Amino acid sequence: MRAVVLHETGGPEVLRVEEVPAPTPADDEVLIRVEAAGVNHYDVNQRAGGARTLPTVLGSDVAGTTADGTRVLATGARGGYAELCVARLERVFELPDSVSASVGAALGVPYRTAWWALVDIGSLERGETLLVQAASSATGQACLDLGRALGAKVFATAGSAKLDRLRALGVEAFEYDDTRIEALAADVVFDPVGAATFARSVAALALDGRLVTPGAVGDPHVTFDVWKLVDKRARILGIGSAPIVRETIEKVIALAADGAVRPAIDRELPLEQAAEAHRAIEARETFGKVILRP
């Protein structure tokens, strides 16, 4: 079978398509014929230097079919950048016919991270105000999408070139340094950026607000006025890696089937262009999800 194999860490150019043996599923795994694979920032980090076992095939979010023809998505799969991959049974979910393979592959890491951050940790409720920093990323877009579906009033930030696309999604969008952000009184702020946005995220919080962060794609060494946090009785919550919870994934799939959430797909590329997918994500050119097609 064809797969994108990582033999050494480095720049996007180290990703190469090769013929490799098909994976053999263990007793608690299922073999999936991949129709679409989601490219996550975690994959980029692994390629750039985080991978400890080489050679390897990246990719943990896929959609495709099992041996009996059942349409599925898997999150936390092994070797998704390939024609075939394996995933543990508890990480495989049936995909309705109304949800395309590309949408299915886009729902895994971004949407379970968004649900974990906003609902399970941030306790976002209908009618509350949500601010999403760096909203053009796949996870940022998932936060917007879920926030709207949950009935929150949603605001977003991005670079100037992406603001119109955010506004087309039905949210009010600002550049990162717009001073109006500090007056939003947001009940929940999602901030994955770091030093460049963190002080303004704290200032944007409402009384009893919650600032939820999965880490920092930029400088992680942040500074802010601690009195603004204290005066608002606000909390800063680090979420870590989102768990794979069957009930959560099934809820997200149902929302997608009903059209209540609609992942933004930036581009779909063949396996041979996996390096281009990684380059575009690192260059912050993308808006939403990048999908690989075997």
Model confidence pLDDT, tens digit, residues 115-124: 999 999 999 9
Q: Based on the number of CB atoms within 10 Å of its own CB, is 3 exposed (0-12), middle (13-18) or buried (19 or more)?
A: buried
Common-topology check for domains 2-107+263-293 and 110-238: no
pLDDT band at residue 240 under the 50/70/90 scheme:
confident
- Residue 228 confidence (pLDDT): 94
Pairing outcome for strands 29-39 and 84-88: antiparallel
Collect all residues with Cβ–Cβ distance below 8 Å to 43 and sequence separation of at least 6: 58, 59, 60, 81, 278
Q: Report pLDDT digits (tens) over 122-177.
A: 999 999 999 999 999 999 999 999 999 999 999 999 999 999 999 998 899 999 99
- Residue 76 confidence (pLDDT): 96
Would you say 144 and 192 are in contact if contact means Cβ atoms under 8 Å apart? no
Give dist(CA 96, CA 104) in Å, integer.
9
Q: Report pLDDT digits (tens) over 18-71.
A: 999 999 999 999 999 999 999 999 999 999 999 989 999 999 999 999 999 999
pLDDT, mean of residues 224-252: 96
Element (H, E) at 272: none
- Residue 241 confidence (pLDDT): 87
Give dist(CA 86, CA 74) in Å, integer.
9
pLDDT, mean of residues 74-97: 97
Peptide bond into 55 cis (omega under 30): yes
Give dist(CA 190, CA 134) in Å, integer.
9
In CATH, which superfamily holds the domain spanning 110-238?
NAD(P)-binding Rossmann-like Domain (3.40.50.720)
- Residue 170 confidence (pLDDT): 86
3 state SS of 59: coil
Minimum mean pLDDT range among 104-108, 125-129, 281-285: 281-285
pLDDT, mean of residues 91-114: 97
Give dist(CA 11, CA 48) in Å, integer.
6
Closest to 197 (Cα-Cα) out of 150, 131, 103: 131
Domain 2-107+263-293 grouped into CATH 3.90.180.10 = yes
Q: If you average pLDDT over every residue of the chain, what do you get?
A: 96
Q: For residue 91, which amino acid is it?
A: R
Which DSSP string do the residues of 227-259 spell out, in sequence order?
HHHHHTT-EEEE--SPP--HHHHHHHHHHHHTT
Say what percent of the chain tops pLDDT 70. Answer: 100
Please state the pTM of the whole predicted model: 0.94
The residues spanned by each domain of the chain are 2-107+263-293, 110-238
Q: List own/partner pairs for 18-22 with CB under 8 A and 24 or more apart.
A: 20/57, 20/82, 22/84
Would you say 153 and 276 are in contact if contact means Cβ atoms under 8 Å apart? no
Give dist(CA 153, CA 275) in Å, integer.
37
